[in-house]
Amino acid sequence: MRTPIASTGAAGRPAWHALLAPLPAEAVPVRQPVAPPEVLARPEGAAVAGWRQLVLHLSAGAAGSRTLLVVLDATGVPLAASDGVYYREAPAGAAETPPCDAPARVHSESVGGSFAPDGAFRGTHWHSVALDDGRDGDLAWDSARAVPSDAQVEALTALVAELVRRQPPPESGPP
């Protein structure tokens, strides 16, 4: 589900359009199996039978997007999660987010990983930056990788709990 929401945050972006930021009140994740039916029907599909993923896509138009993902086992226990944000900044001195085909500095930032049975989180925080000249072609990304801070893990864990709380009810099967 793409949820466009009015801008209220920094640089004309919505307040939710930042890594690990609180979610907009009206945002509801999509709940779906982690594998397609044809995989689940095969013997190897038994390994992930009943597993679900909660996915929330938020669009900020030309300013970028944010995607959150939570993988749940068949009992509803979170196994993995990520929060990723992509945003464009105007060149120095410009006040608003540039159109998609205009030069901009682009950022891709994420925190994601897995939850161990003891509750520990094992993951990575990525922050990548590139200059987009507005022309078609590959960007030259400058990326930095780090272990997520305790505050980042706490914020991601809170977002996981919020997405689980907001998930739609399970679909009922045939009568």
CA 47 to each of CA 36, 118, 138, 157: distance values in angstroms, whole numbers, following the listed order: 13, 21, 38, 25
d(Cα 152, Cα 136) in Å, to the nearest integer? Answer: 34
Angle in degrees, CA 168, 172, 173, rounded to 5: 145
Angle in degrees, CA 84, 145, 17, rounded to 5: 25
Q: Which amino acid is at 52?
A: R
Residue 144 tokens, joined: 């930095």
Strands 52-59 and 30-33: antiparallel
Residue 85: φ, ψ to 5°: -130, 140
Q: What percentage of the chain has pLDDT greater than the value 70?
A: 84
Give the pLDDT score at 175.
Answer: 45
Is the pLDDT at 7 greater than 70? The verdict is no
Length of the chain counted residue by residue: 175
- pLDDT for 45-55, tens place per residue? 999 999 999 99
- Beta strand ranges found along 116-172 (DSSP E): 121-132, 142-146
Is the pLDDT at 3 greater than 50? The verdict is no
- pLDDT for 104-125, tens place per residue? 888 999 999 999 999 899 999 9
Domain map (residue ranges) of the chain? 10-166
Give the pLDDT score at 47.
Answer: 94
Is the pLDDT at 97 greater than 70? The verdict is no
Write down the pTM of the prediction: 0.84
Half-sphere exposure (CA, 13 Å, Cβ side) for 63? 22
Angle in degrees, CA 26, 31, 37, rounded to 5: 155
* Long-range contact set of residues 72-75: C-beta below 8 Å, sequence gap at least 24: 72/164, 74/49, 74/50, 75/50
- pLDDT for 33-72, tens place per residue? 999 999 999 999 999 999 999 999 999 988 889 999 999 9
Mean pLDDT calculated for residue range 139-157 = 95
